[in-house]
A and B are shown apart, each in its own frame.
Chain A
Amino acid sequence: MSIKIAGLVDCFNNPEFGPLTQHRPMASTSFLGRYAFIDFPLSNFLNSNIENIGVLTQNHIRSLSKHLSSGRSWIKNTKIGELSLLYNEPAVHTAGYNTDIANLIENMTFLRDIHPDYVIICNPNFLYCCDYRALVEDHIASGQRISLLYKHIDKDLKNTFTGATKIRLNGNNKVVSMDVNVGDEDCGDVSLGCIVLDYPMLESLIEYASSTSKFFNINDCLKYLAPTAVIRGVPFNGYVRDFDSLEHYLEYSLELLDRDVFESLFDKEWPIHTRTYDTPPTVYQKGCVVKNAYIANGCTIKGSVTNSILGRGVVIEEGAVVKNCIISNNVKISKDTIMENVIVDREAKILHTLEIVGTKENPIYVARGDVI
């Protein structure tokens, strides 16, 4: 019999995108007009034939449960497979206690029922495509108990992966220390928040964490263990971005307009699955000008859109000019409005302002449902 793998998406302590993540976790925040960030880890699981999946949810459950729905978009066999939202109701109002470890303890029956041989845990803020089954097989072959995926960064680590965990490795690729990236070095190795371990190891990790500190999360626990236990570092060589702030959300999204960058993330053989809303195709009307843009379905475009990303059902009226913007679902930009470096949250309507211009470093944010 083949090995059984459970996949966990850890939505605890993910970065916040300011007001954009006020009503939703970053995991269900819109990405590239068509996706939510969590589609990437879930598609990595699906494409790796891992179909017992738990989503460890810290808060904002409504947005996540709406996106995930029955979970069938990311499950091959809907009887054997399962996608569960794991929520720790009692801990939600006691911040320190609401950790991924506490969530796993509260939802222990989920993993016990699956009875996996191995568990893989990943974080949705690190955007990449990875064959997790190959990673697990490699982990098994290594004979070690814990493997941790990391990325070597040669430059600009000071300004990227903010708040992520820097790791130091010895000559045998064993992780010897783990520290928060506070931007003191320009290169180094960073954890991608993805670990593989056997199920008994996960149980002892949870036991260890909860007996050491009730406030401990998985990452704290690994940090604590790193000097003494064997955590094996596994380098990741593909495209990866840590969506760690609103500015980077804009920058990394627009960076994908470069098709070489795009193709280093997306692979035809590795489809990214998302849920369908049965939105009709987009209508480009006479006189519209669209250049260098990703456009989701259901839009109606009469104006001009350049270097931008539009979500589903966006309306750009005549004479409106949209440049370097991310526009979420069902937003309306009315006639002759100029928008530059703006992130517009869903259902907002720009009706009474003729110009909204931010900068790349300080994009302007328009909140969900607001009329401007």
Chain B
Amino acid sequence: MPMKEEMVAMILAGGRGTRLKSLTSKVAKPAVFFGGRYRIIDFPLSNVANSNIHAVGVLTQYESTALNNYLGSGRNWGLNGTGSLTSVLPPRETPEGASWYSGTADAIYQNIDWLDKTHCKYVVILSGDHIYKMDYAEMLRFHKQNNADVTIACIKVPMAEAPRFGIVVADENNQINEFQEKPKKPKSDYASMGIYIFTYDLLRKALLEDAKDKESEHDFGKNILPTLLGEGKRLFAYPFKGYWKDVGTVQSLWEANMDLLNGDCDLELFANNFKIYSADTTSLPQFIASTAKVEDCVINQGAIIHGQVKHSVICNEVVIEKGASVNNAVILPGAVIKKGVKVNYAIIGSSAVVENDIIGKEDDVVLYTVE
């Protein structure tokens, strides 16, 4: 691996995502389907590709087989060309023994050897479970301009939701004075997006120190960032404007899918620039039958629609039979909605066959999966 990359990416993709319930019983959260043809991790990986980054490590742990297979050589995102490197990095055994990744910082710490070999100057650390488009090269420019040690991408959130996030308090020059991890009483509405650029030398030292600390939870938000701030390091908030959604719950995953139906959605998924790449399927062209009624929906190749579909997102190889009616729903690949069945405010899991009505509420969406 004789490479010299200015910035490499590390994607944290090991989490289970328990709040996605049975959607993640057999796959890790980053591998969950989204937007008709994508998996969530297609977003950070495509961002990496579109930001001209050529080396990426993906840290996997929970139910990693499907995710590891999906990542492969990085070919789906063009990250397998000459001089490119896509490494799937699950926990491994070393001469010191074997251990699981015990926190976000620990996962990176256990792969310091991988980072060393890339001879990178900067590392961008990403989550594998956010929906957004972002050019990390812009963020790196900001990092360099500010002569920062750490840059955290931040976004304004409604004050009521602030306690769910890492909250930063920054001055008018975007320099961070205070960092609160999931605070009960947030001091601002400026939330960390869990996207960090570190100057690598500094990150390396911080991780080595943190690994020695028996009290530490080895977490970026809880340990690394507050410690660095306490040491007087230069932490900056990079103001991100655009669509960003953490799809951690069934409800938020459904909402993010519904956002695609809003023509003004800032994600601009259907735009020709800054494409989101994904694995191709050998799907047939989508077929809309003469009995079908489709409007206000997003449908992927391979779907067969005989029934009615409104305000919904339909994945590949989904079959909506005659007389079935699908409203406000997300139907994942290969699911079948049988004749006359009504689905409203629901997410239907992959390959599920729905024979009875599934009706949820707008603020309490039903998840139906194959057990």
Residues of A near any B CB (own CB < 8 A): 32-34, 259, 262, 266, 271-273, 276, 278, 280-298, 300, 306, 309
Nearest chain B CB to A318's CB is how many angstroms away?
A: 12
A282 touches B298 (CB 8 A): yes
Q: Which residues on the B side are within 8 Å of A33 (C-beta)?
A: 285
Q: Which residues on the B side are within 8 Å of A296 (C-beta)?
A: 285-286, 301
Nearest chain B CB to A186's CB is how many angstroms away?
A: 32
Instruction: Let me know if B287 is at the binding interface, CB within 8 A.
Output: yes
The chain A residue sitting closest to B289, CB to CB, is A292
The chain B residue sitting closest to A297, CB to CB, is B301
The chain B residue sitting closest to A262, CB to CB, is B287
B295 touches A278 (CB 8 A): no
A292 touches B37 (CB 8 A): no
Contact A280 B301, CB 8 Å, known A32-B285, A292-B290: no
Q: Which residues on the A side are within 8 Å of B313 (C-beta)?
A: 281
In addition to A278-B276, A295-B288, 7 A-B residue pairs with Cβ atoms within 8 Å of each other are A34-B301, A262-B287, A280-B276, A281-B36, A282-B298, A283-B297, A306-B290
Instruction: Let me know if B28 is at the binding interface, CB within 8 A.
Output: no
- Main SS at interface, chain B: loop
CA A289 – CA B282 in complex, angstroms?
27
- Main SS at interface, chain A: loop
CA A112 – CA B273 in complex, angstroms?
44
| A-B contact list, 18 entries, CB within 8 Å | A273-B282, A278-B278, A280-B269, A280-B270, A281-B35, A281-B36, A281-B299, A281-B301, A283-B298, A284-B296, A290-B288, A292-B289, A294-B287, A295-B285, A295-B299, A297-B37, A297-B300, A300-B270
B297 touches A284 (CB 8 A): yes
Name the interface residues of B60-104: CB closer than 8 Å to any CB of A: none
* B262-304 near A? 1/0 per residue, CB < 8 Å: 0100000110000111101010111111101011111111000
Residues of B near any A CB (own CB < 8 A): 35-37, 263, 269-270, 275-278, 280, 282, 284-290, 292, 294-301, 313-314
Most chain A beta carbons < 10 A, residue from B269, B286, B287? B286
Q: Which residues on the A side are within 8 Å of B35 (C-beta)?
A: 280-281
A276 touches B37 (CB 8 A): no
Cross-chain contact of B286 among A282, A288, A291 (Cβ < 8 A): A282
CA A116 – CA B263 in complex, angstroms?
55
Q: Which residues on the B side are within 8 Å of A295 (C-beta)?
A: 285-286, 288, 299
A271 touches B282 (CB 8 A): yes
CA A27 – CA B251 in complex, angstroms?
47
A288 touches B289 (CB 8 A): no
B290 touches A291 (CB 8 A): yes
Q: Which residues on the A side are within 8 Å of B298 (C-beta)?
A: 281-284
The chain A residue sitting closest to B78, CB to CB, is A278
Nearest chain A CB to B42's CB is how many angstroms away?
A: 10
Nearest chain B CB to A349's CB is how many angstroms away?
A: 16
B277 touches A292 (CB 8 A): no
Cross-chain contact of B288 among A34, A280, A291, A298 (Cβ < 8 A): A291
Cross-chain contact of A294 among B269, B275, B278, B285 (Cβ < 8 A): B285
Closest 3 CB pairs of A and B: A276-B280, A281-B36, A271-B282
CA A87 – CA B331 in complex, angstroms?
46
